[in-house]
Amino acid sequence: MSEQLYGFVGLGQMGGPMSKRLVDAGHRLCVYDTDPATMQTLTSLGAIAAGSAREVADSAEIVFTSLPTPPVVRAVALGEGGLIEGARIRAMVDLSTTGTVVAREVAARLSEKNIVWADAPVSGGVKGAIAGTLAVMLSCPRATFDEIADLLEIFGKVFHVGEEAGMGQIAKLGNNMLSAAALTLSSEVLAMGVKAGLDPKIMVDIINAGTGRNSATQDKFPRNILPGTFDAGFATGLAYKDVRLCVDESEALGVPMVAGAVIREMMAITNAKYGGDSDFTSVAKLLEEWAGVKIRG
């Protein structure tokens, strides 16, 4: 087992399996989450429980975070009882999707305390977090990359996209916009096909054998939509947050995102109708209702 103690704050759908992979790889871990049940899962495997983010940062030099929204990241990093108050922390490795504004704000504040920020958002969903097949989009100083790359490879494939805070966020937001776009447009196409009398499974097979294949038709339709389970493992509220951030970032850079703005609106409608806790594949339910069909195998 590794002698060094690492920290992990945020043990939810993604943070839970990622922190477990660190423990399974033989690393000592100090963990904190607002949900005691998730902490119990990790402590039963040998992790040390902390009472706050600051307690984690009092114990560990390198602290990973996996948190749901930019305001939560800001609060955990900079708020009362946050990581910035810790006595031992010297690097915060954030696996969340925050956008560049919060990433740069937190990075600047942490640097005042000689704490290095690394934004390392991940893609691949809960299944990827469990299997260790995530894509990790890391932006941080080269020296920090050299120190933490081996740890991040426990989660999946690591891409060092640059040294400036927020660069990893741009890569992640672009990826998630494409994921949501593929899902939304594929749902429209499948609704059209079913309305015309085609079997949705056969149509998915045709698309996957042709040039229209994408992550939605190859994975989400066969696994989560055609069976009617709508359980891909990514909340609609988070998908809406990500595409909204993506459009904002693009426009701030002076890059028009016309099609992306449409996807943002589709996620907004899905979020309003089915709630933020619904699975983002629920956009297919929206298209079913509008078309008056069922896209089921």
CATH superfamily of 5-165: NAD(P)-binding Rossmann-like Domain (3.40.50.720)
Judging by DSSP bridges, how do beta strands 156-162 and 48-49 pair with one another?
unpaired
CATH domain 170-291 topology: N-(1-d-carboxylethyl)-l-norvaline Dehydrogenase; domain 2 (1.10.1040)
Q: How confident is the model at residue 3 (pLDDT cuts 50, 70, 90)?
A: confident
Percent of the chain at pLDDT above 90?
Answer: 98
- pTM listed for this prediction: 0.92
Q: How far is CA 92 from CA 153, 240, 241, 247, in A?
A: 17, 26, 22, 26
Give the list of residues 6+ apart from residue 71 with CB closer than 8 angstroms, or none: 102
Output helix, strand, coil percentages for the chain, rounded to the nearest 5.
55, 15, 30
**How many angstroms separate the first and last alpha carbons of the chain?**
48
User: In the chain, where are the structural domains located?
Assistant: 5-165, 170-291
Q: How far is CA 21 from CA 42, 226, 262, 286, in A?
A: 10, 31, 37, 36
Torsion on CA atoms 184, 189, 193, 194, rounded to nearest 10: 10
Report the alpha-carbon distance of residue 179 to residue 99 in Å, rounded.
Answer: 17
- 201 among known catalytic residues: no
Report the alpha-carbon distance of residue 159 to residue 107 in Å, rounded.
Answer: 19
Q: For every residue of 142-187, which 3-state class applies, written as one string?
A: HHHHHHHHHHHCCCEEEEEEECCCCHHHHHHHHHHHHHHHHHHHHH
Report the alpha-carbon distance of residue 184 to residue 166 in Å, rounded.
Answer: 27
- Chain centroid, CA 110 distance in Å: 22
- Averaged confidence pLDDT in the chain: 96
- Catalytically annotated residue among 20, 172, 220, 241: 172
Q: How confident is the model at residue 99 (pLDDT cuts 50, 70, 90)?
A: very high
Residue pLDDT, tens place only, 54-87: 999 999 999 999 999 999 999 999 999 999 999 9
Residue pLDDT, tens place only, 100-124: 999 999 999 999 999 999 999 999 9
Report the alpha-carbon distance of residue 66 to residue 12 in Å, rounded.
Answer: 8
Element (H, E) at 22: helix 15-24
